[in-house]
Structure 1
Amino acid sequence: MQVSETAQPAPDRGASASVLLRADKENVALLTLHRPEARNALSDALIDALSRELDAIAADRSIRAVIVASAPSSCFSSGHDLKEISARRSDPDRGRAYFEDLLGRCAAMMQKIVRLPQPVIAAVESLATAAGCQLVASCDLAVAGEDARFCTPGVHIGLFCSTPMVALSRNVAPKHAMEMLLTGETIAAADALRMGLVNRVVPAGHAVDAARRLAAVIASKSAPVLAVGKRAFYEQIEMGLEDAYAHASRVMAENMLARDAEEGIGAFLEKRTPRWE
């Protein structure tokens, strides 16, 4: 069961909030995609609800880590809602303006995950396909139940998974990414682990529990330091080697001057538990 017993519609986010549930526990926010009848497809409403909730979490100092899960369904997320997309083909421009806006809003939401100060963990129990696979790849970490599967199947319906490609190609080796994109074939959780798309594979039904344990380890660290490190990780990975070292050196020197670094080093030398700010 992936939906927490205490999960509630994301508060004060408008009529679309019921497509996304949020439950906070011990400094960890659990966001649950809640469209099981539509295979948790990323509808307009769900993309917007995720975007708004990520903004709220970014400003919430009580939250130290985030888990993205889904309501029980055949899919963690089946990607974009093809019924919504097809309905716009009758627009005067055959849907062009809507498609560009949709993909832009989805890309912005995925980038909010990357830019969020708190680490984000995907907890996947079933099939993550197309933009659903993109969502998993956009998260900082991923835990998969052993029955989870992943694919970018756009080529089967004449639609190359170009936007999922961006996140996927930044997680796995180029030839693995190309094989998934060119064939559209589904890979098992064990293969996703081998390829680097997920961090851990656990018994089916235990992905959220395992993600919570991982989140608890992360939440025990200094939140400001984790935020600095996460941002620096994504900044340096796009740089050349020399520029990456120069940037990381500047970040680390600044970090050394922070209160939590002084406290952490002092605690280590004094053989005591650090008291984070």
Structure 2
Amino acid sequence: MSAEPSAHPVAGAAAPVVTTSRDGGVLTLTLARPEARNSLSEAMMAALTSALAAIAADTAVRAVVLAAEGPVYSAGHDLKEIQAHRGDADRGRAYFEDVLKRCATLMTAIVRLPQPVIAAVEGMATAAGCQLVASCDLAVAGEKARFCTPGVNIGLFCHTPMVALSRNLARKHAMEMLLLGEWVEAEEARRMGLVNRVVPAGDALSTAQALARRIAEKSQVPVKLGKAAFYTQMEMGLDDAYAYASRVMAENMLARDADEGISAVLAKRAPSWEDR
């Protein structure tokens, strides 16, 4: 498949808010609304959710990179859209609940996507934008990237970003971000566990794509089983987690590629994957 970028349009949008490019088994999704700080507007969330649904059904896509245009990775929810509903009869309650439900649908779609997703972060990722990074399986940050959950500073605790942060960071690190609402520099974000790697500014995308290509080279049987199992067992108690993981691993052992991989090790040769 060509690596040329293509638009993933949204009905009624003047220009695509998300673009895609393909290089072999690696698909890159790019937030393309830099003039609005790549905020997670209704259109942006719809475009990303739609793109992820298409990717989930595309077995030729083996890994996904989530990047952004401009100096801001994502500033979180579109505050202008939110404030526009303050005058509703219910003061915006129904709209707020709906938009947050859409956001949760997007974040869980990333977690539940069969393919691994790697965030490539340059610039700032704040509030739900930080949540977007935390929802990805891996994250690479340029050294000038910064992260923040600043809701507490404007009278609005970052409750939904809290869900993703608390599942990635140690409790006290997550609470520090949520309670202080202060900027976290890239290297500190790596230490906290929000990102995996910090690279020179401008190199986040190429590094994330290189990681994605390495994942794409592997059999997709253990990759897809493993990603799903990782998040499932995280919600279980220790005994249930081991019982569940044992069942999934036994299923994995029955796969053709597991037989091939073990045979290749014993024969001291490179394996030949068939993704089954």
Q: Secondary structure at 1:18's aligned position in 2?
A: coil
C-alpha deviation, 1:64, in angstroms: 0.4
The 4+ residue runs of structure 1 with deviation greater than 6 A are: none
Match status 1:187 vs 2:184: yes
The amino acid across from 1:95 in the alignment is: G
Alignment partners' CA distance in 2, 1:267 and 1:15: 53
Alignment of structure 1 residues 115-194 onto 2, 5 Å: 115-194=112-191
CA distance in 1, matches of 2:121, 2:236: 31
Judge which range, 14-23 or 57-66, deviates more. Answer: 14-23
Report SS of the residue matched to 1:88.
coil
Aligned counterpart for 1:66 among listed residues 64, 75, 98: 64
Question: Following superposition of structure 1 onto structure 2, how do residues 195-274 of structure 1 map, counting pairs within 5 Å?
Answer: 195-274=192-271
Q: Is the 8 A contact 2:122 2:202 kept in 1?
A: yes
Secondary structure of the 1:31 match is strand
> How much has 1:263 moved relative to structure 2?
1.1
Q: Which amino acid aligns with 2:139?
A: A
Partner of 1:10: 8
User: 45, 48, 52: which is aligned to 1:47?
Assistant: 45
Instruction: State percent identity of aligned pairs.
Output: 66
1:273 Cα shift? 1.6
Question: How many residue pairs align between the two structures?
Answer: 272
Give the AA of the match of 2:205. Answer: V
AA aligned opposite 2:93: R
Q: 1:130: Cα distance to partner?
A: 0.0
Of stretches 15-24 and 159-168 in structure 1, the one that deviates more from structure 2 is 15-24
Structure 2, unmatched stretches of 5+, are: none
Matched, 1:90 2:87: yes
Q: Is the 8 A contact 2:125 2:146 kept in 1?
A: yes
Deviation at 1:266, TM superposition (A): 1.2
- The Cα of 1:276 is off from its aligned counterpart by 1.1
Amino acid at match of 1:264: G
Amino acid in structure 2 at the alignment position of 1:110: M
- Measured in 2, the distance between the counterparts of 1:108 and 1:78 equals 18
Q: CA deviation at 1:14?
A: 3.2
2:221·2:252 contact (CA, 8 Å) conserved in 1?
Answer: no
Please name the residue that 1:99 is paired with.
96
C-alpha distance after superposition, 1:21-69 (max 9, x if no partner):
0111121110000110010000000001000000000000110000000
Classify the secondary structure of the residue corresponding to 2:246: helix
Residues 125-173 of structure 1 show CA distances to partners (whole Å, capped at 9, x for unaligned) of: 1100000000000000000000000000001111000000000010000
Supply the distance in 1 between the matched residues of 2:35 and 2:97 (Cα, whole angstroms). 26
| Other structure's SS at 1:171 match | coil
C-alpha separation in 2, matches of 1:15 and 1:272: 54
Q: Which residue of 1 aligns with 2:32?
A: 34
| Distance in 2 between residues matched to 1:138 and 1:152, nearest whole Å | 14
Return the offset for 1:224.
2.1
Normalising by structure 1, report the TM-score. 0.96
The amino acid that maps onto 2:119 is A
SS of residue matched to 2:86: helix
Q: Secondary structure at the match of 2:182?
A: coil
